[in-house]
Structure 1
Amino acid sequence: MTPPEGPHHDCILVRYGELALKSRRVRARFTAKLKDFIIDAFQAYDLDCVIEDDGGHLFVYSSDLPGATQRLARVFGVVSVSQAARVKVVAMDDMAGEVAAYSRHVLEPGTSFAIRARRTGSHTFTSMELAKEAGSAVWKAFSGDLTVNLSDPDGVVEVEVRGPVAYIYHQRVPGVGGLPPGSQGKVLVPIRERTDVVAGWLLMRRGCAAVPLVPEEDEAAGDLAHALLQWDPLLQVRTLPVEDWDWPVLYREMGRSRSMAIVSGVRGPEVPDLPLDRNRDPVVFFPLVGLDDEAYAQLEKRVMG
């Protein structure tokens, strides 16, 4: 016997991990950046969305939840996402019934399962009590044809109670993590090789807004630059005559684009000698220096895949 068609989901629960470690003021600013980026990126992808923020998670509503989930997993600052069923919190036994009904769509008879419960706010039950009650209801819903395995279950159903509302889900799609786009300023990313794209991606993951720069009439470099668009569809690619491709001109372009630094894809143990500029003190990042071949190959596959 296979489970029936998948469960009904109402929204996407978005976890932003690292932001929660910031002060309340910084967290509010970064969360606002994240929400603004999601809205703008969804418009670029022709996806609709409404975002709710309860101070701990974001909740994204869209008419295309699978498409929205895929895009959210590629947003910098997002740690993981889960499509969830949204239910009103009443009595604990009612909540357990909702979890049991959901589980019939995602668990299979003869397998093992676990219930993970957590809550915020004031309730008449603890997280452990809810997990126990829901686990019992799930077991009964399958007429005892399930076994409990809390350490390594075949399937997991999670319920997160947040004030008067609970969210039930069974999958966590990993996100890219890091910090929201644009929260840490702007960097110029001159691109001629794949390593330059990977280097730019690392700075983007740390919250920098990238300004890709490619030589004019270099289609290969243009294609490489567009690889970054799958992570940030709002990027604007700039071009520069290939004969002008040297450090003094890159310093000038850094100023013109109002970037705070240049990102280089140099991988060797020694960085190149950089000419000084009497008019400014340019900052150049070399984020790939120190990465061994295996670590770099894995990172490139993630960025370019």
Structure 2
Amino acid sequence: MALVLIRYSEIGLKSRYVRRKFEELLIADIKKALSYYGIKNKIKRTWGRIFIELNDFEKAIEPLKNVFGIVSFSPVIETEANLDEIERAAAEYAKIGSNETFAIRARRTGQHDFTSQDVAIRAGRAVENAMHARVNLTNPDKEIFIEVRDDKAFIFSEKIKGAGGMPYGSQGKVVGIVENEEDMLASWLMMRRGCIVEFACTEKMEQKIRERAMWRDVKIHFIEEEKHKFAEKLAARTGAKAIVVGGETFKKMELPVFYPLLGFQEVKK
């Protein structure tokens, strides 16, 4: 089983109550994503971090990269939070050639009888002796990260970028009018900000929406009349508080209209 450390950013700025609610939404979406791809998992949460035990990390990379709210994630090894164990684990974990340089980046959360600097020095010395590699703190060939959290320490060297944003469903509901790729991207950006999107679309865009939605159970409504009127009626029926579009400008709408692509010099399709 692989152990994966999940990081988020904006959630950590919320109050304790809101943070917990958002973490629960994030965990629920992670579970849906992994289950959708048939990946067995077990999730545990600590303050500021989420950990996942996986039976297939390589298969989990793509779904995790597409979960809104995850800023980055790393496969880690876990050991006890004492200097001797950290030193041993770091030396075993390091895969560095004798002609390469490395740096240890240590951080610590909780009460310990050692500092982050102590961790970096002891682990660095162990890796140096085991691999016969040189330390370079400014521009190393490889970085080894050690995160000590209470009674456990986690060692990793890879940070995989996630989608970022906010957990899906953490914000309000909007109607996304989707007639083309730009509209789809605009709605996707609102989903990334945590909004639930009710899609008002043409039939030709249905498959594109489902591909972007992936495991998320989105609702699709085919436009049956003039789109402005249809979007407003759909919003009233579903409780949506705003309308989202790509490039077209709407006038005299009773609801707020969001244009997430404004300011983009070029929309990548």
Please state which band the TM-score falls in when normalised by the shorter chain. over 0.9
Residue of structure 2 in register with 1:69 after alignment: 61
Q: How does 1:86-105 map to 2 (within 5 A)?
A: 86-90=78-82, 92-103=83-94
What are the within-5 Å matches in structure 2 for residues 87-166 of structure 1? Answer: 87-90=79-82, 92-103=83-94, 106-142=95-131, 144=132, 146-166=133-153
1:10/1:86 contact within 8 Å kept: no
**Is the alpha carbon distance of 1:205 and 1:236 closer, same or farther for their aligned partners in structure 2, counting shifts above 3 Å?**
closer
Residue by residue over 1:197-228, the C-alpha shift from the partner in whole angstroms, topping out at 9 and shown as x without a partner, is 1101111111111222322xx33x12321242
Instruction: Please state if 1:170 is matched with 2:157.
Output: yes
Give the equivalent residue in structure 1 for 2:24. Answer: 32
Deviations 1:84-107 (A, max 9, x none): 0111223x123111101000xx32
Contact 1:225 1:237 in 2 (8 A): no
Partner-residue secondary structure (3-state), 2:148:
strand
1:148 CA displacement: 1.0
Uncovered stretches (5+) of structure 2, i.e. residues with no partner: none
Corresponding residue of 1:288: 261
Match of 1:3 in 2: none
Code of the residue aligned with 2:208 in structure 1: it is L
1:237 Cα shift?
4.0
Length-normalised TM-score, structure 1: 0.83
Cα-Cα RMSD: 1.7
1:214–1:237 contact (8 Å) kept in structure 2 = no
State the match for 2:217 in structure 1: 235
Matching residue of 1:226 = 210
Are the counterparts in 2 of residues 188 and 254 from structure 1 also a CA contact under 8 Å? Answer: yes
What per-residue deviation string (whole Å, max 9, x for no partner) do you get for residues 240-282 of structure 1?
255x142112111122233222110116xxx2323x5xxxx32
> Can you list the C-alpha shifts for 1:183-202, whole angstroms capped at 9, x where unaligned?
00211112110001110111
Structure with a larger share of its residues in strand: 2
Aligned length: 269
User: Contact 2:198 / 2:221 at 8 angstroms: preserved in 1?
Assistant: no
TM-score (ref. length: structure 2): 0.93
Cα distance in 1 between the residues matched to 2:37 and 2:173? 23
Unaligned 5+ residue runs, structure 1? Answer: 1-8, 301-305
Amino acid at match of 1:42: L
